[in-house]
Amino acid sequence: MIEEAKWVRETVKEHHRWFADCIPMIASENLISPMAREMLVTDFCDRYAEGLPGERYYNGNIYVDKVELKAIELAKKLFGSKFADVRPTSGTVANMAILFAFAKPGDTITTASLDDGAHISTAKFGAVGLRGLATVTYPFDVENMVIDIDGARKTLLEVKPKLALFGQSVFLFPTPLKELRDTFQEIGCHVWYDAAHVLGLIAGGKFQDPLKEGAEFISGSTHKTLPGPQHGIIVGNPRDEDAEKRVTRAVFPGVTSNHHLHAMASLAITLAEHIEFGKAYADAVVKNAKALGQAMHEEGFNVLCEQRGFTESHTIAVDVREQGGGTLVAQLMEDSNIIANKNMIPGDTKPKSPSGIRLGAQEMTRLGMGPSEMKEVARLIKRIAIDKEAPAKVKEDVKVLKRSFNRIRYCFEDGMEAYKFHQLY
């Protein structure tokens, strides 16, 4: 079987070489720093730690406990929260913990709908449905790509959910939490904000501060605008000790056993890096996303929310029905070494053949690209989707552009020389 093992290793190397020549625009991805990446291949990746620091079910966790306590300390500092749990192994696992903590089968929760940008875990076929919960969706202001305040208030008062969820995967603008805070207090619900996509922007002070605006808990994955490992996190200001205990128990033993100690250590380094570099990075990400939206608009694309400056996050949403639809355009982009994804936009009903594409600026920013490069990227996409140039021809120009951007920014320099980004490929 050695040949099969070698084949796997070589195939992964081929992926590395390919991505070295690609422009990365998936809004849910990012690049981990060299120092944080190092943690993923330490002995932590071979070990087990069930429970909480100092209260483990396994021995051998002397140093694991120290690292986990530091990660908790850094998370609280970064998000200004009283509570942090760094054990969820993904954003969806973090979501499941909140669901297990505050909702039982048969309960109803309120959330955004999929075609309005909600995450798949809130669907009937996702974590919410598998938990046996019913969902009622908020009315959505399609023109402004945000939850309709008056409609959401009416929905909350009618449904009186135990748990009100906010947060999206197509997350262009802040959620109106402040405007709904009185309603939350009136019905007494737990308010949960899924910040997976905008976690790093929130930490960098560039989107909104959910914990100050009415949310009790924030969940999220840690590898999008927070450029860390594939992992999850929950932070919050629990209303009482019972709420904190519910979440802690829901994480373990509820939805995790061992919590991927190497990723937890990597997350600790990412949190420290973001405390130092997060404000500058978040600012650059939003500026680039706005520049990308404007450039795509000028190149003839129907970018959503022109009247609001296209976005206040890392993401823009583009209606590409005139160019053949999201599935076709995303494939043409991949054929040209520009990596993005098809995506539902308001009004869509078929996830596999949506009208839109979703473009993220966070990874390009991490590599040092700025507004001028956003204009060049928009021109490349126009050549593919509107001018119908051959992808093979456009691909060569993509490679030339990417060649100048092969070093990770906004992170500690330790280990950079020994582990330069291009050496991954």
Instruction: Provide the 3-class DSSP secondary structure of residue 48.
Output: coil
Residue 307 CB neighbour total at 10 angstroms: 8
| Count of other CB atoms within 10 angstroms of residue 10 | 10
CATH of 278-418, one of 3.30.450.20, 3.90.1150.10, 3.40.190.290, 3.40.50.450: 3.90.1150.10
Region of residue 309 (phi > 0: left; psi between -120 and 50: alpha; otherwise: beta): left
- Token pair of 399, please? 């490679």
Q: Which residues pair with 137 in a beta bridge?
A: 111
Strands 146-147, 163-166: parallel, antiparallel or unpaired by DSSP? unpaired
Same fold, 35-273 and 278-418: no
> At which residue do the structure tokens 């473009």 appear?
359
pTM of this prediction exceeds 0.85: yes
Domain ranges of the chain: 35-273, 278-418
Strands 227-236 and 217-223: antiparallel
Q: Which amino acid is at 102?
A: F
The DSSP line for 267-287 is: HHHHHHHHHHHHHHHHHHHHH
Q: What is the pLDDT of residue 417?
A: 55
Instruction: Say how far apart CA 133 and CA 124 lie, in whole Å.
Output: 8
Please tell me the predicted confidence (pLDDT) of residue 418.
Answer: 46
117 in Cβ contact with 194 (< 8 Å): no
Q: Residue type for 146, please?
A: V
Residue 416 has what pLDDT? 59
- Count CA atoms within 13 Å of residue 221 on its CB side: 20
Please report, as a single letter, which amino acid is at residue 101: A
CB-facing half-sphere around the CA of 204: CA atoms within 13 A: 27
Residue 85 bridge partners (DSSP): 234
Q: What are phi and psi of 163, to 5 degrees?
A: -135, 120
pLDDT at 113: 81
Query: What is the distance between the alpha carbons of residues 418 and 38, in angstroms, rounded to a whole number?
Result: 11
CATH class label, 35-273:
alpha beta
Helix (H) or strand (E) holding 137: strand 134-137
pLDDT for res 415:
58
Identify the segments of the chain with pLDDT beneath 50: 418, 421-422, 424-425
Cα 124 from Cα 122, distance rounded (Å): 7
